[in-house]
Structure 1
């Protein structure tokens, strides 16, 4: 056996031992180990063309024009996993005015839960809306006696310490617990995500995950005015969930493959290591881009 083969076999056995040991760890321990040790695995996964697969989202301006003209309502349906648009990092809101107000108004009117983003409806804009119990004190406005806060271009400036992270059981309206393949096709990871859909009439997938207890957030309101606010409790959890959406992260990335339904695990397996590391990064603003637009 060549020295290269011996090295490859050794690396494989080490990785196999890592995976087997990982499955036995509790949630907190698994997360800590992944953050510290996945650099080699992610280098392999990130080279896959399918990892960067994207499908065009419509612009904020196009969505607003459709809403005003009545041609179509881009907020009448959500993207459903595994639609590739859900994996796209949303673009910042550059221009504030009637387009932002039109889209946010429609988003608020159609909200079924206490938190939502434009990306879930195929609109390429970094906008989060929190309402009701998820809306922080001093919310942007009140509608039908329900407080509502809008975050445009949100960024996390600081997080509470990692040992204070809170375990939650979350679901997401765009991720059902079953995936449908096109009729007559054999399931395979490289199947274009736009040809697949989740069974939205089935139960939603629920995942146990960790969120920071508190986050300090910088953002802009619908007029472009800067906002700085500290979030805790449900507001913090909901904000982090929606910020994940803006960064192309889904709740499936927070779970181990062994905790996911077989169909979803099958699709995620080739890319799961790098996506999970991204979900666990706990990144904060480092001054390497504009804080406000």
Structure 2
């Protein structure tokens, strides 16, 4: 079980490295890593488990965040009045995106960042993605809103990019042209 002590923090070299492509069939280690990432995000959304193990809530976790250079991440998002999204993404990529941008009006956070970083992080409002599941089967999905934002955040981790790299340093709350803010429930 992944605990907070297993999650590397900003400044750790794993967070700035481009992760390695995963080969199929998955090794037992890669399968376990993918399942452990999903277990963390699911467990971190359960108040009792959070309290018991001292977890910080999160909706996504990428392999580089646990010091594994693999193109794997897990997302688990349950929004009110929306279809839940629970995916393991192996070798994920964005195949198309909207011109329209969005950003979380409250800003983004990260399990690898122990401080509040204020500012708007521009993201594509809608994306079409391709990735592989645990069995090596490719799937394609269209994502929007929080799911699209979270996918882009985790994909950045696989490329050695932190969310705050996207924030305008001189003017963190500068309007993003053509962007519609996303309000989280």
1:218, distance to aligned residue in structure 2 (A) = 0.9
Aligned to 2:159: 247
The C-alpha deviation readout for 1:82-140, integer Å capped at 9, x for no partner, is: 11211000001113333332112222222231111111110111012111327x95xxx
1:74, distance to aligned residue in structure 2 (A) = 9.0
Distance, in Å, in 2 between the alignment partners of 1:175 and 1:74 is: 15
**Moved >4 Å (runs of 4+):** 73-76
Which residue of the other structure, out of 72, 77, 82, is the alignment partner of 2:11? 82
Larger RCO, structure (CA 8 Å, separation 6 or more): 2
- Secondary structure of 1:228's match? strand
**CA 1:174 to 1:75, structure 2 compared with 1: closer, same or farther past 3 Å?**
closer
Distance, in Å, in 1 between the alignment partners of 2:159 and 2:119 is: 19
Distance, in Å, in 2 between the alignment partners of 1:156 and 1:205 is: 26
Distance, in Å, in 1 between the alignment partners of 2:6 and 2:170 is: 30
Larger Rg: 1
Aligned to 2:140: 228
Aligned to 1:166: 102
More helix by share: 1
Distance, in Å, in 1 between the alignment partners of 2:128 and 2:117 is: 29
Do the aligned partners of 1:152 and 1:221 also contact (CA within 8 Å) in 2? yes
- Secondary structure of 2:65's match? helix
Distance, in Å, in 1 between the alignment partners of 2:92 and 2:162 is: 17
1:134-153 counterparts in 2 under 5 A? 148-153=86-91
Aligned to 1:110: 40
Do the aligned partners of 2:14 and 2:68 also contact (CA within 8 Å) in 1? no
Distance, in Å, in 2 between the alignment partners of 1:258 and 1:176 is: 22
The C-alpha deviation readout for 1:182-233, integer Å capped at 9, x for no partner, is: xxxxxxxxxxxxxxxxxxxxxx324311111111111100111011111111
1:256, distance to aligned residue in structure 2 (A) = 2.8
| 1:218 counterpart = 2:130 | yes
Do the aligned partners of 1:171 and 1:207 also contact (CA within 8 Å) in 2? no
| 1:154 counterpart = 2:92 | yes
**CA 1:74 to 1:170, structure 2 compared with 1: closer, same or farther past 3 Å?**
closer
1:42-81 counterparts in 2 under 5 A? 76-81=5-10
Aligned to 1:99: 29
1:147, distance to aligned residue in structure 2 (A) = 5.2
Gaps of 5+ in 2: 45-57, 173-185
- Secondary structure of 2:90's match? strand
**CA 1:259 to 1:173, structure 2 compared with 1: closer, same or farther past 3 Å?**
farther
Q: Structure 2 length as normaliser, TM-score?
A: 0.73
Q: Structure 1 length as normaliser, TM-score?
A: 0.47
**CA 1:115 to 1:74, structure 2 compared with 1: closer, same or farther past 3 Å?**
closer
Distance, in Å, in 2 between the alignment partners of 1:238 and 1:244 is: 10
Gaps of 5+ in 1: 1-66, 68-72, 138-145, 178-203, 261-293
